[in-house]
A and B are shown apart, each in its own frame.
Chain A
């Protein structure tokens, strides 16, 4: 496993509660969830930089909605 560095993260109560809920739902530790979020963010950012759009499709209705990333 690659060596890791430690940092202090300051979150509001609301942010911490979202982090707790997501970590629980995804069966991840809070650190693992934040690392996952960073990977996803970098992937999305790279695709957007390339000119791609981020779309969500409702599986039932096939309705598509674009997530605006400015």
Chain B
């Protein structure tokens, strides 16, 4: 059964915060939203970047992600979990998690952690794409959910992930340790959160 938690997101265009829902699964409706709303919005952004002659190196680095395929690949496998954030009746962010990974930082090397395989927020929530975001705090809510899952699984808050370069600063701001580029994962930087960093992150949230 899917668990749902009420969270609050900042909505710069509105007064105060907006109530949203954090769910511990990626279900059919999220994939429908991705197809019907995220993809056309991203296509518009990409067309605009193309018109303005913005080099492809500055285009969103997750633009090729296909959430339908990602969900199909892990369907029914216990090690994989998903989270989504829903607000205004639409999916605002998605994360796919792998529970079969182990920590690398010397102080927690070999201990299990929650690995965030993919985390993406809807194109209209990404300030770097040129428009004021509709909602802020979606990415942080998904990281907080990953830390909470780590606690629930007995992993004490440890999480890890490989970041696309455009998201490196976000994970640094989350207080994660930067392990540097990982040659085994397309040279993406590997970030890890220790038990203490997880505690500090949740206190901040």
Q: Which residues of A contact B (CB under 8 A)?
A: 1-3, 25-29, 31-32, 35-36, 38-40, 42-43, 46
A2 vs B99: C-alpha distance when bound (angstroms) = 15
15 further contact pairs, Cβ within 8 A, besides A36-B99, A43-B100: A1-B152, A2-B3, A26-B110, A26-B112, A29-B154, A32-B153, A35-B153, A36-B100, A38-B78, A39-B79, A39-B99, A40-B100, A42-B77, A43-B78, A46-B77
Inter-subunit contact B111/A40 (CB<8 Å):
no
B residues near A (Cβ < 8 Å) are: 1, 3, 24, 77-79, 99-100, 108, 110-112, 152-156
A2 to B21, CA, bound (A): 17
Question: Within the complex, what minimum Cβ distance (angstroms) separates B149 from chain A?
Answer: 8
Q: Is the CB of A25 within 8 A of B110?
A: yes
Chain B residues, CB < 8 A from A39: 78-79, 99-100
Q: Please, which residues of chain A bring their CB within 8 A of the CB of B155?
A: 28, 32
A-B contact count (CB 8 A): 42
CB of B4 to closest CB in A, whole Å: 12
State whether A32 and B154 are in contact (beta carbons under 8 Å apart), knowing that A39-B79, A42-B78 are contacts in the complex. Answer: yes
Chain B's closest residue to A27 (CB) is: B111
Q: Closest CB-CB distance, B205 to chain A, in whole Å?
A: 18
Partner of A40 from B1, B3, B79, B153 at Cβ < 8 Å: B79
Residue of B nearest to A40 (CB): B100
Residues of B within 8 A of A32 (CB): 153-155
**Measured CA separation A52–B88 after assembly (Å):** 43
CA–CA, A46 to B111, complex, Å? 23
